[in-house]
Amino acid sequence: MNIAQYATGLQHVGIPTNDMEASVRFYTGLGFDILHQTRNGDSRVVFLKLRDFVVEIWEGPAAGLSGAIDHIAIDVIDIESVFEVISKAGLQAIEGGIRELPFWERGVRYFTINGPNAEKVEFIQKL
């Protein structure tokens, strides 16, 4: 099974929440803009966008916190500046600071924070 000839990219990542206001506040605080708000049956749904990355947050009876997504990652161009902004906002890196890994051609620097819905948000800069 191969859908490569039909796919054009990532559409969005869905994150369930039990507190829509806290979730929207968290993601807009990171710089996401509200793209669309709607309802799906009894569930409130908000789509937020950061450049070409879209997150769908939904709240309601079907929003139980389950699934297999461990984290979402956001590419950045200046990891130190992002770390400073996040730290000033009172959020703490799970790793305690900026870390490095030998991923990709020359490695990466990254840190991860906890989101309001048990998701992790990683900020990553390729070296």
14-54: pLDDT as tens digits: 898 889 999 999 999 999 999 999 988 888 999 999 999 99
pLDDT for the residue 10: 85
Q: How confident is the model at residue 66 (pLDDT cuts 50, 70, 90)?
A: low
Domain boundaries, the chain: 1-62, 69-127
DSSP per-residue codes, 31-79: T-EEEEEEEETTEEEEEEEETTEEEEEEESTT--S--S--EEEEE-S-H
Confirm whether 1-62 and 69-127 share one CATH topology: yes
Contact 30, 91 (CB under 8 A): no
pLDDT for the residue 87: 95
Asked whether the predicted pLDDT for residue 62 surpasses 70, the reply is: no
Question: Is the CATH number of domain 1-62 3.30.1330.10?
Answer: no
pTM of the model: 0.82
pLDDT digits (tens, 9 = 90+) for 70-93: 789 999 999 999 999 999 999 999
Please tell me the distance from the alpha carbon of residue 95 to that of residue 107, in angstroms, as a whole number. Answer: 17
**47 Cβ contact partners less than 8 Å away, ≥ 6 residues apart:** 12, 34, 35, 36, 37, 54, 55, 56, 57
The residue type found at 32 is: F
Contact 106, 126 (CB under 8 A): yes
pLDDT for the residue 60: 72
Structure tokens at 19: 């507190």
Asked whether the predicted pLDDT for residue 56 surpasses 70, the reply is: yes
**103 Cβ contact partners less than 8 Å away, ≥ 6 residues apart:** none
Question: Is the CATH number of domain 69-127 3.10.180.10?
Answer: yes
pLDDT for the residue 96: 95
pLDDT for the residue 104: 84
Please tell me the distance from the alpha carbon of residue 97 to that of residue 103, in angstroms, as a whole number. Answer: 18
